[in-house]
Amino acid sequence: MELKYETIIGLEVHCQLLTKTKAFCSCPTTFGSLPNSNVCPICLGMPGVLPVLNKQIVDFTILMGLATNCTISNKSIFARKNYFYPDLPKGYQISQFENPICSKGFIEIELENNSTKIIGITRIHMEEDAGKSIHDLDIDTLVDVNRCGVPLIEIVSEPEMRSSKEAFKYLSAIKQIVTYLGICDGNMEEGSLRCDANVSVRKIGENNFRTKTEVKNMNSFRNVERALEFEIERQINLYEKGESVIHQTLLWDANKNVAIPMRSKEDAHDYRYFPDPDLVKVEVDEKWINEIKKTIPELPSKKLKRFITEFSLPKYDSEVLTTERDVAEYFEETIKNLNLKNPETFKLASNWIMTELLRVIKEEKVSIRLLKVLPINLAELIDAISNGKISGKIAKDIFAEMLLRGEKPDVIINKKGLIQLSDESEIEKIITKILDENPEVVVKFREGKKQLIGFFVGEVMKLTSGKANPKIVNQILLKKLNNAN
Amino acid sequence: MHSVSSYSYDDFLNQTPDNNNSVLNIVEKYLKNIELRKNINAFTEVYNEESIANAKKTDQELKSNNKKKLSGFVIAVKDIISIEGKKLTCASKILKDFTSLYDATVIKKLKDADAIIIGKTNCDEFAMGSSGENSSIGKTLNPVNEAKVPGGSSSGSAAAVAANFSMGSLGTDTGGSIRQPAGFCGIVGLKPTYGRVSRYGLVAFASSFDQIGPFANNSRDAARILEVIAGHDPLDSTSANIPVPNYLEKMNGDLKNLKIGLPKEYFDDSLNPEIKKSIELKIEFLKSKGVKFVEVSLPHTEYTIPAYYILTTAEASSNLARYDGARYGHRSKNSNTMEEMFVNSRSEGFGNEVKRRIMLGTYVLSSGYYDAYYKKAQKVRRLIQKDFLDVFKNVDCLLTPTSPTTAFNLGEKTKNPLEMYLSDIYTVSVNLAGLPAISIPSGKDKNNLPIGIQLIGKHFDEQTLLKIADVCENNLN
Ligand SMILES: [Zn+2]
């Protein structure tokens, strides 16, 4: 049934900007402060106050505009979006309406079948956040205005996504770009990245759009996908039953897995936008734009391609390593510090970061930059493995030490005498001793119980406290056990 | 100190300080005057003890030769400007018990210059009105004739100076709210160029029109106040970064080579003949001082009032949205839901004129009407600005009446808002164009009511207006 229908999705993504101070006053933007502590007469909307634009917001928005191939407007204006709500102290939100600062951009997303697709960006504009109403207490509704005036950008896409998967990919790409640019932390759960969707469906082959609905309150990536799937199915079911879709706003309820329509009264807004007379035009000249251009870092899609070609990494590795800028930079720094640089050591570095480091940062919920293991030390560890100084197994123990104390691997190796035993005559002596002491096992092995090799390896490791080079142990063992035949 | 006639800062400076002429003595006399004519209802609050304490402090400072620009200058402030720790009512029930948390930039500057703020003055609610009758604490009377209105919206500020309650005062002018009451009360009122004086701390009525300006008994005192309060303010993005001249220095009496335009649209039949006569006399006098006059035209004058009321009400509807009972100000006790709280608090808290303008402004911004009203009015505003810029290529300033009539009777126009709006017909175009303008006294009509004439200047050229005003005053004396 769904095959007959095509989905049309457009996303409106709000990103809280990582400026130190608010958009129009000098209050801090710190998350998690005591309610109503990061406030002043201006963001409280006291009578007589005036907004003054924080220039860093313009920098950040231009940065995002350039990273998403937008046209930057030389003159843009702020507008007032008027509506009444207790957590909106001025009775209007300062936003942009006509003449947004960025428009007509696009980003590329990757589809399942490895092809790519261009998603258009209609506009990116600057605005201020509202406060928070807290309803779920047993007393009256409470208002926390700490968030009032925190700067946001709103990124509006063209209605060019054709499935919830594509929407998910687009949203992931936007998150990746803003975090790479360092203008937003991209945390959906904390609300620093928010996403609303416009959804409609139509029969394949139709040219006109059908009625769309707006889905809000999807506060995680998983919820976005689920909410969109719910809404697409709901609309198709309606059409299949011969009913029609009404234009309305739905709120996603993550507990019940349903999207619930808002009361139509709350939904019927006439925002009465008009230019904010308290703020002057934002004039951006070429010089300003060029200065910001210089600060754009290598973006994730480009980095991913480069990791594949420059380091011969599998695509999967490159994707994992470039998801976050910090991780990608950690990897590159590790590579830079390797003595032995070849595809094998690159892959070794990738493996270590993907399995060990990413596990730790996920478990401890810290940034990779805060780990005690520095890239230069990880490089030393990888060098020690690849030049046979230590075994991979010992390396794991050393890594655990590094995590705890941040010591250099060499220091730990020397302190604990963990240098790998690779002296063949030494190993041969030990093996001879073990074979002599266990003649019945040797017999069983030679009768065909080849898996008993593990027993001998284990014995060697026991006698050498795990330091024997496993490759050499294996070689000599096999030679000795097989030769006697 | 004179107790009846007006007292100026020059009078204060020219006297040798003794007990009789101490700042304390002056403040006490003003306070006594306020007490004697309480019925004028010029103040929302008088700072009795504080002004006395400040006067004593100033006397000490003066004794140790620590004189600042406005030391001992006693000033009243329209109760729409924020003073830290003081009530800020805007003459509205909705802010009846509201205390402000901060000083407006102009207040900071006055305090830094050691001016003595004697109290907050009554006005039309949120500066909306032309008669001083739209105040939640009751109307202000015209001190010259108590049966008449003092004009508005800065009614109390004009009355305070005219009644000798203070040496000067601050008002605000969105469409004539300084100049019209100055004219009605027979004093000087200056509306500076938009952007000349910081609006930070001025409760907004129409943000792209509002300007704070001085009232005084003479243009020298108006200049003194302006010089202190003017200048760029980083807290107001619309304030201009243009140097403030030393106005008194420029008021040298030399009017030679000045060319003044007389816009013909301002001298039609609706103008009161006595006012016309008074202006003609003024023109003759100025000609004798070497000024040249030419007739000019401001062709879009007829669209002034509609454009003004569309744009100012649009801005007001948004500016006044914050008074919703949720965070401060009046909250209705009879509300069960959030929406009822908004509706009831605002219905109970705002007066009729404010409600009328909020409704009008909400309407002109509504979807479907925005282009026809707001956008069109913006275009008209640009045309009116261009009219002035064209005329100023040829003249240094313009001379017009301040109002079509002298002060009218209390209650005369309260039932007819349109007629009330027309009393600002000569003043509003100045705010549409963001220009500076001054109203100066020009004799009296047969009922002994003051006549005001208006001088309109180029952007940021307050000094030419003050210079001309100064010469005209010397002629009176
Ligand atoms: Zn603030």
Query: What is the pTM for the complete model shown?
Result: 0.90
pLDDT interval class at A137 (50, 70, 90) = low
The verdict on ipTM greater than 0.90 is yes
Angle between helices A325-336 and A300-311 (to 10 degrees): 30
* Model pLDDT for residues A447-463, shown as the tens digit of each residue: 888 888 889 888 888 88
Task: Say if residue A285's pLDDT is above 80.
Answer: yes
Least confident among A389-393, B429-433, B460-464: A389-393
- For the segment A438-451, the average pLDDT, to the nearest whole number, is 87
Q: What percent of chain B has pLDDT over 70?
A: 97
Query: Which residue, A239, A264, A292, sits at the end of a domain?
Result: A292
Q: Which residues of B touch A146 (CB under 8 A)?
A: none
Catalytic residues of B: 78, 153, 177
Judge whether residue A139 has pLDDT over 90.
Answer: no
Residue A265 has what pLDDT? 58
Quick one: average pLDDT of A412-439? Answer: 83
Do A150 and A243 lie in one domain? The reply is yes
Mean pLDDT of B125-146: 97
Is A40 found in the same domain as A15? yes
| CA B313/CA B365 separation, integer angstroms | 10
Q: What is the 3-state secondary structure (H, E, C) of chain B?
A: CCCCCCCCHHHHHHCCCCHHHCHHHHHHHHHHHHHHCHHHCCEEEECHHHHHHHHHHHHHHHHCCCCCCCCCCEEEEECCECCCCCECCCCCHHHCCCECCCCCHHHHHHHHCCCEEEEEECCCHHHCCCCCCCCCCCCCCCCCCCCECCCCCCHHHHHHHHCCCCCEEEEEECCCCCHHHHHHHCCEEEECCCCCECCCCECCCCCCCCEEEEEECCHHHHHHHHHHHECCCCCCCCCCCCCCCCHHHHCCCCCCCCEEEEEHHHCCCCCCHHHHHHHHHHHHHHHHCCCEEEEECCCCHHHHHHHHHHHHHHHHHHHHHHCCCCCCCCCCCCCCCHHHHHHHHHHHHCCHHHHHHHHHHHHHHCCCCCHHHHHHHHHHHHHHHHHHHHHCCCCCEEEEECCCCCCCECCCCCCCHHHHHHCCCCCHHHHHHCCCEEEEEEEECCCCCEEEEEEEECCCCHHHHHHHHHHHHHHHC
* Ligand 1 center from residue A219 Cα (angstroms): 26
Where residue B476 falls among pLDDT bands split at 50, 70, 90? low
* CATH code of the domain containing A451: 1.10.10.410
- A274 inside 8 A of chain B by CB: yes
Instruction: Examine the domain organization and report whether A89 and A110 are in the same domain.
Output: yes
Q: Phi and psi of A445, rounded to 5°?
A: -60, -45
Residue A18: pLDDT over 60: yes
Q: Tell me whether residues A84 and B208 touch, CB distance under 8 A.
A: no
Output the pLDDT for position B52: 98
Residue B318 has pLDDT above 60, yes or no: yes
Length of chain B: 477
**pLDDT (mean) for A17-44:** 94
Q: Are residues A283 and A342 in the same domain?
A: no
Spell out which residues of chain A touch residue B98, defining contact as CB-CB under 8 Å: 47
Number of domains making up chain A: 3
**pLDDT digit string, tens, across residues A226-280:** 999 999 999 999 999 999 999 999 999 989 999 999 876 555 689 999 999 999 9
- By percentage, how much of chain A surpasses pLDDT 90? 68
One domain, residues A439 and A345: no
Asked which of A270, A292, A314 is the last residue of a domain, the reply is A292
Q: What is the mean pLDDT of chain A?
A: 91
Nearest to B367 among A49, A51, A270 (CB): A270
A475-485 per-position pLDDT tens digit: 888 888 887 54
Q: In whole numbers, what is the pLDDT of chain B averaged over residues?
A: 95
How far away, in angstroms, is A49 Cα from ligand 1 center?
10
Q: A178-208, pLDDT tens digit by residue?
A: 999 999 999 998 899 999 999 999 999 999 9
pLDDT of the residue at B269: 83
pLDDT computed for residue B4 by the predictor: 42
Contact B370 A91 (CB under 8 A): no
pLDDT in tens, B205-258: 999 999 999 999 999 999 999 999 999 999 999 999 999 999 999 999 999 999
Picking from B81, B236, B318, the nearest residue to A82 by CB comes out as B318
Query: Is A277 in the B-facing interface, judged by CB distances under 8 Å?
Result: yes
Judge if A269 and A185 occupy the same domain.
Answer: yes
From the list B237, B338, B374, which residue is nearest A274 (CB)?
A: B374
- Mutation target among B97, B318, B370 for the A interface, most CBs of A within 10 A: B318
A172/A43 same-domain check: yes
Mean pLDDT of A315-322: 94
pLDDT at residue A308 greater than cutoff 90: yes
| Whether B178 contacts B215, CB under 8 Å | yes
Residue ending a domain, choose from A292, A313, A328: A292
Q: Do A283 and A387 lie in a common domain?
A: no
Query: What per-residue confidence (pLDDT) applies to A358?
Result: 93
Find, in chain A, the residue whose alpha carbon is nearest to that of B317.
A82
Cα(A147) to centroid(ligand 1), Å? 10
**Which residue segment(s) compose the domain that A380 sits in?**
300-416
Q: Does domain B9-256+438-476 have CATH number 3.40.250.10?
A: no
pLDDT tens track for B327-351:
999 999 988 888 999 999 999 999 9
Asked whether residue A349 falls in the same domain as residue A474, the answer is: no
User: Looking at beta carbons, which residues of chain B come within 8 Å of A80?
Assistant: 318
A446/B111: higher pLDDT: B111
